[in-house]
Chains A and B, each alone.
Chain A
Amino acid sequence: MNNFMTILLHTYLSKLKTKSFIVTTLITVVIVAGLANLSGIIDYFDKDDEERIAVIDETGVLLAPLQEQMDALNNNISLIAYNGSEAEGENAVKDEEYKGLLLLSFTEEELPEAAYKARSIADSAISSELQGGLQQLKTQMAATQINLSPEQLSKLYEPVPFDKTALEENAKTEEELNQARGLVYVLLFIIYFAVILYANMIAMEVATEKSSRVMEILISSVSPIKQMFAKILGIGLLSLTQMAFILLVGYFSVKQNLDTMEGGFFEFFGFGNIPASTIAYALIFFILGYFLYATLAAFLGSLVSRIEDIQQMITPMTMMVVAGFMIAMFGLSQPEASFVTITSFIPFFTPMLMFMRVGMLSLPVWEPILGIVILLVSIILLAVFGARVYRGGVLMYGKSNSFKDIKKALQLTKNE
């Protein structure tokens, strides 16, 4: 047991100290903190002065109501009456005195008409806001012309009441479902990246030890099986450390910005009220998924003798993770499709699919439990089989990068 801890700690600490690990973690933390503070950052860059627009109002009556409309839309556009000629106005815009020049006039039907001139029309935000304000103004004026009362007008524009209710008990409401979708989406991404990242790390570790032949010394001191599991746990601990660090930073920056978070981005991702069960399931399926793929990666890594061959060896495994992720993405919009239900019980897909289903739907409790049991059993089977392959695999050198080598590796460990 002592040796087990030595290997575990060595794997954990030596990886923890590598530059690449520290840099990756820091970059991720910066991204997470950036996302959490997104609205603050946008505000910071956007708080520059109001956009000043020069207005030549030929009618003399449109400017005031238009300014009212613009204020109601709550944007930073300020309209300023310009007294010079059109040509002078154009020059003032060219001299960057104003952002743009708006010419207001009446059509033959006494309705507003406008022309907008700016140095460039690449920034469509201002012109479309002006257009929107003017559109409303026009609607009001046209309504007055045909003698519609404001009540009649609002009746015209009132949206139709449309209410959706799920009949099944415990079923998630539309709002909840949207929230769940955002959260599940983010967590799925985390599981997906983590499994690929750390499984790769393990396969690389094993292949490095093998190609540098340090493996022979290691397994003459410690049994390969002990060594394999110590390594898997060591990297597992590393992954949890990284996750914990990122989540902690994420949690605190989200908490800090809780007030500014209403609406938009955060509500979409459903971070307002995170259901504890979803997080718990995410953790369980992340850990189980990690062990499943880590064991697979360790024994695949034990079969190659050169680091260059490792990618080729673990590609099928990576494809499997990608396939699981794709199905999960499809499942986000149709979580009840029977295809998704069935595949969520296939061990290699369970971590992502069962998690997606349990996060999106109100599953009877036996379903996720069955998924967890299936995963546990597969992990144990894979570990027993993988350990035998590993034991032989680490002793095999030479051109070995096909799946036939699994048979050869098993043969090595057999006592005839």
Chain B
Amino acid sequence: MALELKNVTKRFGAFTAVDDLSLSIPESEMFGFLGANGAGKTTTFRMILGLLDPSGGKITWNGNPIDYSTSPLIGYLPEERGLYPKLKVKDQVIYLAKLRGMAKQDCLKELTYWLERFKVPEYANKKIEELSKGNQQKIQFITAVIHKPKLLILDEPFSGLDPVNVELLKDAVMELKDNGTTIVFSSHRMEHVEELCEHLCIMQKGQPVVHGSLKEIKRSFGRKNLIIHADYDLSFLKDIRGVVKARQTAEGIQLQISGEDAAESIFREVAVKGFVRKFVLEEPSLNDIFIEKAGASYE
């Protein structure tokens, strides 16, 4: 296990931000760390980075405690963009990379590579404040990965980016993972998490409420989504046993049901009623699970 959190607790006075959190993340794995606002994500990240000391428990990287001597191994992309507004992109990235123990020459080479890759080579000599938010986010990402960290912490990496740039960044993240970087990743965009992470954890009020691999989580959630399109009124299905939630759509109805048995009985009901253009039984989306477990919607 590369990154290991054992019974980690953080209290601020009487308030408990993180309560007895245990996680183990193997090397070269992308781990989704989810939770509503204030669930303790940032506090956990800060403890992993060594900015805050845990009130209890232990955090280790390959068996060693994480402190400033390990900082060249770690890359961090904070939720809020953090760059000097008045500094040129080049100076900025070099300064921050030097602090992670990188030599200036390597740094320039890597910077050129990344700027080309993100299709913004002309920004090297621009000041940060002259860039758009999305482009600032790209620079922020470069500062997090330029020193080839072993452990990469990404707090909301895709916020503020257009779909094209989200794809650019996603590709970069996938490539880093394939090259052996362990990535902890938080996002409120469930479709990103679903696409990128094999394992995840959903936090609520400082405690992990769901933890495991994506498949297992979906299977153990039990409920499934059922989408039916038909030309007649389907609202009577709401009252059938096994239906948890129903939402009318333009072409039919979308149901959340307790399991496959419920789907069978619904199938029989609608078959009697008439022709059905679409009848799809789906795995639950992470969004559904998140809403159920964390108790709020983020879209």
Contact = CB atoms under 8 A, between A and B. Distances in A.
Contacts of A338: none
Interface string B70-87: 010010101011111101
B98 A6 contact: yes
Contacts of B13: 411
Given A6-B95, A411-B12, A416 B85 contact: no
Taking each of B52, B71, B80, B99, which has the highest tally of chain A beta carbons within 10 Å of its own beta carbon? B99
A212 B82 contact: yes
Nearest to B46: A395
A395 B53 CA distance: 13
A415 B84 contact: no
B68 A223 contact: yes
Interface in A397-416: 411-413, 415-416
Main secondary structure of the interface of A (DSSP, over half): helix
A214 B98 contact: no
B96 A412 contact: no
Taking each of A3, A212, A222, A411, which has the highest tally of chain B beta carbons within 10 Å of its own beta carbon? A212
B84 A209 contact: yes
Given A212-B84, A220-B71, A222-B71, A395 B11 contact: no
Contacts of A219: 51
A3 B76 contact: no
B297 interface: no
Interface in A209-237: 209, 212-223
B46 A6 contact: no
B12 A412 contact: yes
A7 B99 CA distance: 8
B98 to A, nearest CB: 5
A3 B99 contact: yes
B100 interface: yes
B186 interface: no
B11 A220 contact: no
B59 interface: no
Nearest to A415: B53
B73 to A, nearest CB: 11
B55 interface: yes
Interface residues of A, number: 26
Contact of B81 (A208, A213, A215): A213
A222 B84 CA distance: 17
B76 A216 contact: yes
B95 A217 contact: no
A10 interface: yes
A213 B80 contact: yes
Interface string A346-378: 000000000000000000000000000000000
Given A3-B99, A412-B12, A415-B55, A213 B71 contact: no
Contacts of A154: none
Nearest to B9: A416
Interface in A185-217: 208-209, 212-217
Contacts of B91: 14
Contacts of B76: 216-217, 220
A411 B17 CA distance: 14
Nearest to B56: A416
B49 interface: yes
A219 B54 CA distance: 17
A221 B99 contact: yes
A6 B99 contact: yes
B71 A10 contact: no
A400 to B, nearest CB: 14
A5 to B, nearest CB: 10
B82 A217 contact: yes
Contacts of A214: 82-84
B50 interface: yes
B143 interface: yes
Contacts of B46: 395
Nearest to A219: B51
Contacts of B143: 217
Contacts of B54: 415
Contacts of B55: 415-416
B49 to A, nearest CB: 5
A218 B95 CA distance: 10
Taking each of A212, A214, A218, A411, which has the highest tally of chain B beta carbons within 10 Å of its own beta carbon? A214
Contact of B74 (A220, A411, A413): A220
A340 B54 CA distance: 49
Contacts of A209: 84
A217 B50 CA distance: 12
Interface in B1-55: 11-13, 46, 49-55
Nearest to B68: A223
B84 A220 contact: no
Contacts of B11: 416
21 contacts: A3-B98, A3-B99, A6-B98, A209-B84, A212-B83, A216-B76, A216-B80, A217-B143, A220-B50, A220-B51, A220-B74, A220-B76, A221-B99, A221-B100, A222-B71, A222-B99, A395-B51, A395-B52, A411-B12, A415-B53, A416-B55
Interface of A: 2-3, 6-7, 10, 14, 208-209, 212-223, 395, 411-413, 415-416
Closest 3 CB pairs of A and B: A213-B82, A221-B99, A214-B82
Given A213-B80, A214-B83, 19 more contacts: A3-B98, A6-B95, A6-B99, A7-B99, A14-B91, A212-B83, A213-B78, A214-B82, A217-B76, A217-B82, A220-B49, A221-B68, A395-B46, A395-B52, A412-B52, A413-B53, A415-B54, A416-B11, A416-B55
